[in-house]
Amino acid sequence: MRAFRSLTIPLLLVSLMSACSVSTTPGGTTEGAGGQDDGPVAIGFSQATQQSPFYVQLREGAEAAAKQAGAELYFADAGGDVTKQNNDIQDLITRQVDVLLINPVDPQGVQPGIAAAKAAGVPVVTVDRPVPEGAVAHVGRDNKAMGALVGKRLSEQLGARGGKVIEIRGDAGGAVARDRSAGFHEAVAANAKIQIVEGPYSDYVRSKAVTAMQDLLQVHPDVAAVYAHNDDMALGALQVLKENGKGKVLVAGVDGLMEAVKQIPSGQYVATALNDPISLGTKAVETVLKVQKGEKVEPSIDAGTALIDTDNAGEYIGPGEFAQAAQ
């Protein structure tokens, strides 16, 4: 009896932990398993974080697309922890999902989870953040192009006067942060009057950018502009600038967050780049369903982007949380 109990209790704990880490779309069920030939397609969605509005909307776009297609989506939030993400992926595999959709915390760190999916015969599609290997397809946007679009516009706005541009970066080692930085640096390189000051990594979170900007402003009171790797961080920087009477310091970001788009007509917030998470989530699920059916898909699928500045901001202002891509 003691031996029976010693085996049963750990198994029960593992079962409970697994059940707590994964949720389904509204109306879905956490009971039973996916992967049945006569049932709905089961999609496992492992997301890096829900701490940014972009990722909340990305999830909502994926859930809506799955529901419309009659598929069942099992969702897991890694909370920015790659170890948890690998465990989440294992949980999703155990649920016998047909395809995995992964938004990786760390492209290298998530490789154990991708290897486990391969061993189980579950194909992987990545979204927003690519991985070096192991995915059938990646659905995202050209982040280097986004950085370049915003960089060119900001450089034009600064003109011959140039000045210090503080760059508030996303996540250390992330492909998105790397590309948004590279595109921006290349775009402003032609303006010799611009000096880029690389700020800390703020993980795309506004509150962290606020703290970073407060410190940076003490060291660089002569800053001419701020470029952040997403609008949420850029808005945090804008808040600090306004609180310190820096109304002439220009600000630019990426993602097309509606709160940022609405700031553009007033002039201080110069530009952002379109990165509609709803359409990205929709396209990701469409790709997943094609993979599940055995259809051929491109290894890299670009969802497209566009510059939003004073010339066209009015066309994008609407009720959504992000500017929407043209259908």
List the domains of the chain with CATH numbers: 18-140+277-296 (3.40.50.2300), 143-274+308-316 (3.40.50.2300)
Q: Report CA-CA distances (Å) from 29 to 11, 68, 96.
A: 22, 16, 14
Residue 38, SS3? coil
8 Å CB contact between 287 and 125: yes
pLDDT at position 17 is 40
| Ranges under pLDDT 50 in the chain | 1-20, 25-36
Give the residue carrying structure tokens 């259809």: 295
CA 29/CA 134 separation, integer angstroms: 29
Looking up tokens 């750990």 gives: 10
User: Structure pTM?
Assistant: 0.78
Output the pLDDT for position 197. 97
Structural contact between residues 258 and 119, judged by C-beta atoms closer than 8 angstroms: no
pLDDT for position 22: 60
- Give pLDDT, residue 21: 52
Can you give the pLDDT at residue 229?
A: 97
Whats the size of the chain, residue-wise? 327
Token pair for 237: 């920087």
The reported pLDDT for the residue numbered 38 is: 62
> What pLDDT, on a 0 to 100 scale, did the predictor assign at position 37?
54
How many Å from the N-terminal Cα to the C-terminal Cα in the chain? 64
In this prediction, residue 327 carries a pLDDT of 57
Strand order in the sheet with 223-228: 194-201, 163-169, 223-228, 250-252, 269-273, 307-308
Over residues 214-261, the pLDDT tens digits come to 999 999 999 999 999 999 999 999 999 999 999 999 999 999 999 999
Phi-psi domain of 255 (left: phi exceeds 0; alpha: psi -120 through 50; beta: other):
left
> What pLDDT sits at residue 2?
42
